[in-house]
């Protein structure tokens, strides 16, 4: 993997994860500078970013990291994605502990990890644990673990990646005090590695045929779930009769909180409730919405349910075959596909999203050919856009060698 190419230079902390993921997939060294340089209190890398770097280090072999003294500059030289092969922890499961100060949901790690996993040499098995695992959706904009499982992972099926993929939610947790920390536990098993993902053509959004969802209550009364479901169904049922929202109630996780007098003290953390909704269209497109109670509390479950239902409707109304939350995953996989043109119809609002545009720019920098954009054919009253993505044809380097 030794590259004589000069490192790609990026600035800023935005799109940090996807830059690192594509660096790993393409094998290019990246140099990211000016990471929060002007923040007076927390300059440099945030705890969740550091944690993600550690995760990358764990699933790859031979990657090198250099972080500047202030943490505002990172140089990352990727290695081979080995996954959890022989000698990786007990039973091949990589145990990744998230720090207590983490304010991002665990989906922040799951989404990029899933993007890496199909190109790994061995199956990827990672157990996320520790006092920073938030399984619910967070105020920082991460989706819940349920949405990852029900709205993102099924998308891999369309790329021919479907075997032995599991996301076990061992313990749930909402964000803790001030939105920091949680005590959840999640295990990802991604056991289907491919040489190249299939070329995708998704041009027909279809019509929504069913809605499923999960309402979760952690350490609070189960009636919250019933109330959320009631209001959400009140909004959605007239539109889609096939609506089921399942309820999941769990007790609050206990995390150790040692005091001077009582070193073995524990405290409850991550109380709250939330709702995750997934709509599926007749052609297999998935749209998801996520709302959870804010860490400060003070919001009625009815509000959450209604908000979530409306959010789902908004996501669907953006049109296209891909929800904004899944766009990076889909486009990333298409870029990593074989040297063939894949097409994807997206809503105008989805592609106009800041993150997607940044993703396009970053991908070009990594050497991917630019996207072709054109208006969708047929009756297209919503102004959808078809993105044509040419794959890079690199695929799974580990597979090629082996």
User: Which chain residues interact with another protein by CB under 8 A?
Assistant: 149-150, 153-154, 156-157, 165-169, 193-195, 210, 212, 214, 244, 246, 248, 280, 284, 286, 396, 399, 402
Least separation, in Å, of the C-beta of 391 and another protein?
17
Q: Which is nearer to another protein, 236 or 385 (CB)?
A: 236
Q: Which is nearer to another protein, 170 or 377 (CB)?
A: 170
Q: Which is nearer to another protein, 167 or 304 (CB)?
A: 167
Q: Which is nearer to another protein, 167 or 333 (CB)?
A: 167
Nearest partner of 152 among 57, 280, 37, 240, judged by Cα: 280
Q: Which residues contact 171 (CB under 8 A, 6 or more apart)?
A: 135, 183, 184, 185, 250, 253
Q: How far is CA 31 from CA 73, 111, 148, in A?
A: 7, 22, 29
Give the SS3 label for residue 85.
coil
Q: Which is nearer to another protein, 113 or 169 (CB)?
A: 169
Least separation, in Å, of the C-beta of 123 and another protein?
11
Alpha carbon distance 98, 134 (integer Å): 10
Least separation, in Å, of the C-beta of 133 and another protein?
16
Least separation, in Å, of the C-beta of 195 and another protein?
5
Q: Which is nearer to another protein, 39 or 283 (CB)?
A: 283
Q: Which is nearer to another protein, 97 or 248 (CB)?
A: 248
Least separation, in Å, of the C-beta of 18 and another protein?
21
Alpha carbon distance 134, 277 (integer Å): 18
- List phi, psi (to 5°) of 192: -115, 105
Q: Which is nearer to another protein, 150 or 231 (CB)?
A: 150
Least separation, in Å, of the C-beta of 192 and another protein?
11
List the structure tokens of 376.
Answer: 């969708």
Least separation, in Å, of the C-beta of 169 and another protein?
8
Least separation, in Å, of the C-beta of 98 and another protein?
20
Alpha carbon distance 234, 305 (integer Å): 9
Q: Which is nearer to another protein, 7 or 191 (CB)?
A: 191
Beta strands 132-133 and 80-81: pairing type?
unpaired
Least separation, in Å, of the C-beta of 151 and another protein?
9
Alpha carbon distance 384, 322 (integer Å): 11
DSSP letter, residue 19: H
Give the SS3 label for residue 46.
coil
Q: Which residues contact 310 (CB under 8 A, 6 or more apart)?
A: 235
Q: What is the largest CA-CA distance in the chain?
A: 71
Give the SS3 label for residue 383.
coil
DSSP letter, residue 339: S
Alpha carbon distance 8, 338 (integer Å): 23
């Amino acid at each position: 993997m030794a590259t004589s190419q000069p490192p790609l230079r990026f600035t800023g902390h935005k799109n940090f994860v996807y830059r690192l993921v594509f660096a790993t997939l393409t094998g290019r060294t990246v140099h990211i500078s000016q990471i929060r340089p002007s923040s007076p209190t927390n300059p440099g890398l945030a705890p969740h970013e550091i944690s993600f770097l550690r995760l990358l280090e764990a699933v790859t072999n031979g990657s090198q990291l250099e972080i500047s003294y202030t943490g505002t500059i990172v140089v990352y030289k990727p290695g081979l994605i080995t996954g959890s092969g022989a000698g990786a922890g007990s039973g091949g499961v990589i145990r990744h502990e998230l720090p207590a100060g983490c304010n991002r949901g665990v989906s922040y790690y799951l989404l990029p990890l899933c993007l890496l996993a199909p190109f790994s040499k061995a199956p990827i098995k990672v157990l996320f644990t520790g006092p920073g695992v938030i399984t619910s959706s967070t105020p920082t904009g991460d989706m819940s673990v349920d949405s990852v499982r029900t709205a993102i992972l099924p998308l891999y099926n369309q790329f021919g990646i479907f075997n032995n993929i599991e996301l076990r939610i061992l313990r749930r947790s909402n964000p803790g005090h001030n939105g920091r920390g949680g005590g959840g536990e999640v295990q990802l098993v991604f056991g289907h590695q491919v040489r190249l993902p299939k070329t995708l053509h998704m041009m027909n959004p279809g019509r929504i045929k069913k809605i499923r969802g999960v309402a979760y209550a952690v350490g609070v009364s189960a009636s919250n779930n019933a109330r959320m479901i009631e209001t959400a169904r009140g909004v959605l049922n007239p539109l889609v009769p096939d609506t089921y929202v399942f309820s999941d109630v769990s007790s609050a996780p206990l995390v150790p909180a040692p005091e001077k007098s009582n070193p073995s003290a524990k405290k409850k953390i991550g109380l709250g409730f939330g709702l995750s909704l997934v709509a599926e269209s007749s052609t297999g497109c998935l749209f998801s919405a996520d709302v959870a109670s804010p860490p400060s509390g003070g919001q009625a479950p009815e509000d959450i349910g209604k908000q979530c239902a409306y959010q789902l409707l908004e996501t669907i109304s953006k049109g296209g075959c891909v929800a904004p939350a899944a766009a990076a995953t889909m486009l990333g996989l298409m870029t990593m596909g074989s040297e063939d043109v894949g097409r994807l119809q997206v809503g105008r609002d989805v592609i106009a999203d800041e993150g997607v545009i940044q993703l396009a720019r970053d991908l070009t920098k990594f050497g991917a050919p630019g996207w072709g954009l054109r208006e969708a054919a047929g009756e297209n009253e919503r102004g959808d856009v078809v993105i044509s993505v040419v794959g890079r044809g690199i695929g799974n380097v580990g597979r090629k060698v082996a």
